[in-house]
Amino acid sequence: MPFVTADTQRSDYDVIVVGSGAGGGQSAYSLTMDGARVLMLEAGRNYSAGESSMFRTPDLAPLRGASTPDKPFGFFDATVDGGWSVPGEPYGRASEADAGRFEWWRARMLGGRTNHWGRISLRNGPYDFKPYTRDGLGFDWPIGYDDVAPYYDKVEMLIGVYGSNEGLENTPNSPTGVLLPPPTPLVSDHLIAQRAKRLGIPAIPGHRAVLTRALDHKRVPALLHPGNARAQQILAEDMRERSPCLWATPCGHGCSVRANYQSTTVHLPPALKSGNLDIITDAMVHEVTVGRNGRATGVNFIDRLSGKERHATGRVVVLAASACESARILLNSKSAQHPDGLGNSSGKVGRYLMDTVGSRVSGQIPLLENLPPLNEDGADGHALYVPWWQYREQLAGKLGFARGYHIEFGGGKRMPGVGTGGGIEWLTGGSYGRKFKEDVRRYYGSFVGFDGRGEMIPNERSFCEIDPGVKDKWGIPVLRFHWQWSDHERRQAAHMQTTFGEIIDAMGGRIPHPLKTDGAEAIAPGGSIIHEVGGAIMGSDPKASVTNRWGQTWDVDNLFINDGGVFASNADKNPTLTIMALAWRASDHILERLRRKEL
């Protein structure tokens, strides 16, 4: 069972999975390795990491690989289709002003955004599942850290995540033997860690889904698939084919040696080898169909190549089209039984949309000037990071905002591209010819950047709905976004700026622009950090949430949401590892109920 078409698909699938990114890939893997017959429907085109331009240098690209509107992350970016806008697939927003603007990044390709993502893979901590209990804001999840921890272990072992166990507050350790060793930090990382420590700010090894050494194909498959010899064999063979990282090529181009996690290189190959997965690409799902008994029967989709309407049938439907796309499918699945859309008896589909709070400061550090090139310079970032460190001050009410942020930072001598050496007039006063070349060499590698990644509290004013007047090129109604930050997020962004300024100061550095101490100016627009979650939140009360603790919709027993839509809060930790852990957990639940013939 491999890639099929609408005409060659079967009629007896156990599960239809919509979307092939982190949530869809993990669902397909977990379900098929344990014997379920799955049809995956992906709106984008087929893609294999063999297409990756990881070894191609910027001089080989038009405009030397510079960012363009259709390739915002540069010509060789692994996002072969999609971006901040998708031709023929518009979306609306209630406000264009920075404060109320929502930006939506979509990848239309097999594997979705996982072909390009930053691979930063942090676990939510125990506090992150019970935020309301701690400070009375937002919502508690109906599950706690202990429910998800076994699945974090499994996902980390499957995809390969490097990191260390530091035992810091709300920054969970992984069990011994789960994480891969962290890479050598860059010189700039060492300096940042040393100077931040003087300010009481801890920098520790980051966690990233990149193989610092070969996966243990003899030990891990048996831990992940106990009692399932066939799954163990498939996984062991697949793990042997993944190479450790070369530390020399930009991960955003995709990784053809399979050294980092992409759904296309990690989840889908073994799932296809199981013989239980069929995939239809270019299949734009727009509706979940429901029988007279109120149960989901399958999905309707547009075959993007022919433009024709098609149907797929399954006993269970899993939506993993990304948080907002899944909400869109639910809202568009209207019927006499479900006039406001499917799974929406609570009126909460599309509600409580969240992104990550983001703010950035860059600086120039004289101590890092004129350094010789070092082996570590090729590494693609996140060797170290700063987890949120001010829980006590926050609890004591000293900060003026709720919830924390972590700091991602970077420096070093990445491969020069167009723009390298530009914009240094604030340091040189303007230079030309030989002096300019000397200046570029002097300053190359002496810049550091700090990105805050903070928790947003869900609010009533940030949501998506169906735009009553606009349809995409297939005739499918599109989303319209509403967005508002609260003072908590704005103050947090201002705090980030001050902190980054202090660290740069402690490094003896300088910054090109004044810090943005007004949070409204400091905060990045909604959606722009590309960590959007919510819109189908899980809860304990069917009137206040869309799904239960398994991601199963309250209204339709055999309909599950296996992407970030179910997040009841959006901790500072980047969401994708949690999306995968929850998708595996939900898949185990589906398998169990399929076995018991309850679905």
Ligand X SMILES: Cc1cc2nc3c(=O)[nH]c(=O)nc-3n(C[C@H](O)[C@H](O)[C@H](O)COP(=O)(O)OP(=O)(O)OC[C@H]3O[C@@H](n4cnc5c(N)ncnc54)[C@H](O)[C@@H]3O)c2cc1C
- Residue 578 tokens read as 């949690």
What backbone torsions phi and psi does residue 107 show, to the nearest 5 degrees?
-110, 125
- Which of residues 20 and 364 has its CB atom nearest to ligand X in the complex? 20
- Residue 599 tokens read as 């679905």
- 234 interacts with, out of ligand SF4, ligand X, none, CB within 5 to 8 A per kind: none
Indicate which single residue of 265, 274, 322, 346 sits in contact with ligand X (rule: CB under 6 A): 322
Helices 576-595, 145-159: inter-axial angle, 10-degree rounding: 100
Segment contacting ligand SF4 (CB under 6 A): 143-151, 191-199, 239-247, 348-356?
Answer: 239-247
Helices 487-506, 187-198: inter-axial angle, 10-degree rounding: 110
- 530 interacts with, out of ligand SF4, ligand X, none, CB within 5 to 8 A per kind: ligand X
CA distance 257 to 265: 9
283 three-class SS: strand
Going by C-alpha positions, the residue among 60, 75, 61 that lies closest to residue 253 is 75
- Which of residues 325 and 439 has its CB atom nearest to ligand X in the complex? 325
Residue 555 binding ligand X, by CB under 6 A: no
Segment contacting ligand X (CB under 6 A): 100-108, 214-222, 373-381, 455-463?
Answer: 100-108
In DSSP terms, 440 is beta-bridged to: none
Going by C-alpha positions, the residue among 122, 204, 246, 229 that lies closest to residue 580 is 122
- Residue 2 tokens read as 């491999």
Contacts of 397 (CB under 8 A, 6+ apart): none
Residue 405 binding ligand X, by CB under 6 A: no
Contacts of 488 (CB under 8 A, 6+ apart): 137, 401, 402, 403, 457
Alpha-carbon distances of 43 from 106, 313, 359, 470, rounded to whole Å: 11, 17, 32, 19
- 260 interacts with, out of ligand SF4, ligand X, none, CB within 5 to 8 A per kind: ligand SF4
- 44 interacts with, out of ligand X, ligand SF4, none, CB within 5 to 8 A per kind: ligand X
Binding string, residues 302-321; x marks residues near ligand X by CB under 6 A = ------------------xx
Write the DSSP symbol of residue 407.
E
- 210 interacts with, out of ligand X, ligand SF4, none, CB within 5 to 8 A per kind: ligand SF4
Indicate which single residue of 120, 143, 193, 316 sits in contact with ligand X (rule: CB under 6 A): 120
Q: Which of residues 188-217 bind ligand SF4 (CB under 6 A)?
A: 210
- Residue 105 tokens read as 């990044």
Residue 406 binding ligand X, by CB under 6 A: no
Contacts of 96 (CB under 8 A, 6+ apart): none
Residue 186 binding ligand SF4, by CB under 6 A: no
CB of 62 to ligand X, least distance (A): 21
- Which of residues 58 and 526 has its CB atom nearest to ligand SF4 in the complex? 58
Within its chain, how far is the Cα of 550 from the centroid? 20
Indicate which single residue of 35, 90, 118, 150 sits in contact with ligand X (rule: CB under 6 A): 118
The DSSP element (H or E) to which 277 belongs, if any, is strand 277-280
In DSSP terms, 283 is beta-bridged to: 303
Residue 436 binding ligand SF4, by CB under 6 A: no
The DSSP element (H or E) to which 141 belongs, if any, is none
Indicate which single residue of 80, 193, 331, 579 sits in contact with ligand X (rule: CB under 6 A): 579
Residue 22 binding ligand SF4, by CB under 6 A: no
- 6 interacts with, out of ligand X, ligand SF4, none, CB within 5 to 8 A per kind: none
CA distance 110 to 80: 10
Residue 259 binding ligand SF4, by CB under 6 A: yes
Segment contacting ligand SF4 (CB under 6 A): 250-258, 262-270, 416-424, 482-490?
Answer: 250-258
Q: Which of residues 41-70 bind ligand X (CB under 6 A)?
A: 41-44
Q: Are 162 and 180 in contact (CB under 8 A)?
A: yes
Indicate which single residue of 80, 255, 479, 538 sits in contact with ligand SF4 (rule: CB under 6 A): 255
Beta-sheet pairing, 283-290 with 296-303: antiparallel
- Residue 515 tokens read as 């810090």
559 three-class SS: strand
Q: Which of residues 46-85 bind ligand SF4 (CB under 6 A)?
A: 54
Residue 36 binding ligand X, by CB under 6 A: no
Q: Are 206 and 384 in contact (CB under 8 A)?
A: yes
CB of 119 to ligand X, least distance (A): 5
Indicate which single residue of 9, 20, 188, 569 sits in contact with ligand X (rule: CB under 6 A): 20
Residue 180 binding ligand SF4, by CB under 6 A: no
Residues forming the site for ligand SF4 (CB under 6 A): 54, 210, 245-247, 249, 251, 255, 257, 259-260, 380
Q: Give the interface with ligand X as residue ranges (CB under 6 A).
A: 18-24, 41-44, 105, 107-108, 112-114, 116-120, 283-285, 320-322, 325, 329, 530-531, 563-564, 574-576, 579
